[in-house]
Amino acid sequence: MKLTYPTSLRGIGEWAASNRMTVAVAKFRFAQYGILQAVADSRTLSQVLAFKGGNALDFVWQPNRSTRDLDFSSRDSTLTAERLRNFLTPSLQRVSRSIGVLYRVQRIEQQPPGPNRSFITFEGTIGYALPDERRNRELIQQDKSSNAAVPLDVSLNEPICRIVEVDIASSNPLQVCQLEDIVAEKLRALLQQPRRNRHRPQDVLDVCVAVQENPDLDLSLTAEFLLEKAKAREVSVSRAAFHQEEIRSRALEGYNELRETTRNAFIEFEEAFSIVLSLVDGMPLADRTPPTL
């Protein structure tokens, strides 16, 4: 497991060059790293939040494709936007003193709004300012929104099947979803495309690279996690379901644009989707979805 982020301001230029990134991207990743440190620094958040999604892959499991947002699932179904803000704010202030980056919780909103929602996401933005970003530092010091920000998403009531604890030089380890857990969630998201009217090209590429880079990926465990996650969302799972043309056509839209976000591996869509289907066909799943009674 190789952690892929710059860990000091002085080393950003060298780190950017060795990882084939621009300095601007490396600065953004350093700002993201500080937020991850803040999550781990909070005694409460370090216990209830699990880092997941594309950036968890890129930061921990398979360095390849950067995304802007930091995605988490919460073990605590009673978490609120206000509590999340109250936990993050002092932790970000401590990290600011440690690494020299100013932070400000600019927005945290519940989506969808309203009470009695089964699946909630807290969508937020964390403003930041590096030492050489004078204007953004002034804005944060005036308790105003920085022009530079990291998107943050925290999901409630999503199954967290298995995590690993990762040392990121903070007060506590950062909980990160295991690779099989992330792959399972991406497979479920592909099946949900029609229902949610979404297009998920990134999941095809990420799953494909996970398969290629991790030949020991546990297919039985991935299938178990997929079924658990799909059950929570009432999504029917079978091998045949992944072979539907609508799943393929929705995932194709915008796929080629991912080429600009990758550093190591970009696989053309037809090959990548074929690898995803081969993965699914090798998993212990039902061949076909039972008919609805």
What are the tens digits of pLDDT across the range 85-140? 999 999 999 999 999 999 999 999 999 998 888 889 999 999 999 999 999 999 99
Q: Is residue 72 part of a domain?
A: yes
216 and 163 fall within a common domain: no
191 and 164 fall within a common domain: no
104 and 154 fall within a common domain: yes
Picking from 246, 227, 183, the residue whose alpha carbon sits closest to that of residue 57 is 183
Q: Are 44 and 51 a contacting pair, CB within 8 Å?
A: no
User: Cα dist. 11→4, 6, 59, 91 in Å?
Assistant: 13, 7, 17, 23
196: how many CB neighbours lie within 10 A of its CB?
11
- pLDDT class for 293, splitting at 50, 70, 90? very low
In this model, does residue 290 exceed pLDDT 80? no
Number of domains in the chain: 2
Looking at residues 177-181, what average pLDDT do you find? 98
56 and 199 fall within a common domain: no
59 and 173 fall within a common domain: yes
Q: φ, ψ for residue 108 (rounded to 5)?
A: -140, 115
Q: What is the pTM of this model?
A: 0.93
104 and 220 fall within a common domain: no
Q: Is residue 96 part of a domain?
A: yes
Q: Are 192 and 246 a contacting pair, CB within 8 Å?
A: no
Residues of the domain holding 62 = 12-177
Choose one of 125, 158, 177: the last residue of a domain: 177
Looking at residues 229-237, what average pLDDT do you find? 95
Q: Is residue 60 part of a domain?
A: yes
